Amino acid sequence: MTPQETTLPDRPSALRAFVFSPYLHMVLCTFSWATNVLITRAVHEQTSPMALLFWRWTFASAVVLLLTGPRMRAAWPMLLKHWKYVLVTGFFGIFLFHTTSYQALDATTALNVGFINSVAPIVIVAMSWAVLSERLRLQQWIGVLLSIVGVLTIVVRGDPGVLLGLEFNRGDLWSAGGMPAWGLFTILLYRRPAALDPLAFVGAIVCVGTLLLLPWFLAEPLWDGSMIYSPVTLGAALYIGVVPSALANVLWNRAVPLVGANTSGLFLHLIPAFTTLMAILFLGELPRWFHGVAIVLIVTGIWLTTTGRRPPVATAPAPAE
């Protein structure tokens, strides 16, 4: 073997390391969750929120069952033992959070939803204080307050007079109202029984959430019209069901234990960044001055809050969008 040959990299090993890198998987997850916001907003005039949401999670359930079916069968006794926990977690994480998000995208811009959802780390800290009695330092309280002000800046579109006139965009209110559901979902994940297999648990709450959506999907045409079934709408539902919902959660579940909860939490900040960029490029949504003010407030709030003691973040799943 020549000296030159000894310096050549092991290309198959390097490629494998890149493909299976948890950091790459986290970037792909956050990018796919951002595409969910973009696609849902893009087809909102051709479908009703609950119809798109139901078909999204129906497709996701099929994929998840294929991937986790054997583990769910093996964990069935534990799933039955903790059925109340599985039901409540599926309600907050799959049904309630995503229902509010899709109602929001039917009435407001992808930019606004992306910015409002960026406060997820703040919500986790606040809900940990409220539910788990996590103590917050003064710095963290200031961070929470700044982030709330940032979200309100978007909701009122930079006009304090909106508060006096009570003229809110219902989509922004839906988006902001879904954040507590996300916080409770994360707290519930943190309390997952250690004996409950993580991937089996993912499959269970996805299936439970889909079943909870069924009655609303059937009843929605009574008050909000129905979905226009076309290659565009079905293709959108299939994509967001398979990629951002099923595959992204499997990748996220693999990546988080490898890099740690704190590091993985930082990757969630990529979601509003990707959402903003794609909304500008593909939907023609232009940022306004109050978006700049809001993002400064939100990012400052996140920095102040997360540089203090952070509550533990569950390793799975993390359907941020």
With 80 as the cut, is the pLDDT of residue 68 above it? yes
CA 261 vs CA 55, 121, 254: distances in Å: 31, 12, 12
Tokens for 162, please give them.
Answer: 């909106």
Axis-axis angle for helices 248-259, 22-42 (nearest 10)? 140
In the three-class reduction of DSSP (H, G, I as helix; E, B as strand; rest coil), residue 283 is classed as coil
Give the pLDDT confidence of 257-276 residue by residue, as tens digits. 777 655 566 677 677 778 87
Tokens for 127, please give them.
Answer: 């809900």
Single-letter code of the amino acid located at 308: G
Please tell me the chain's helix, strand, coil percentages from 3-state DSSP, rounded to the nearest 5. Answer: 75, 0, 25
With 70 as the cut, is the pLDDT of residue 22 above it? yes
pTM over 0.85: no
Q: Tokens 């941020």 map to which residue?
A: 320
Give the pLDDT confidence of 91-113 residue by residue, as tens digits. 998 999 899 988 888 888 777 77
Domain ranges of the chain: 24-306
With 80 as the cut, is the pLDDT of residue 7 above it? no
Amino acid 57: pLDDT: 94
Q: What does the alpha-carbon distance between residue 112 and residue 276 come to, in Å, rounded to a whole number?
A: 9
With 50 as the cut, is the pLDDT of residue 317 above it? no
Q: What does the alpha-carbon distance between residue 107 and residue 103 come to, in Å, rounded to a whole number?
A: 7
Instruction: Tell which residue, 283, 259, 257, 320, has the closest CA to residue 121.
Output: 320
CA 157, 166, 146: angle at the middle one, nearest 5?
A: 50
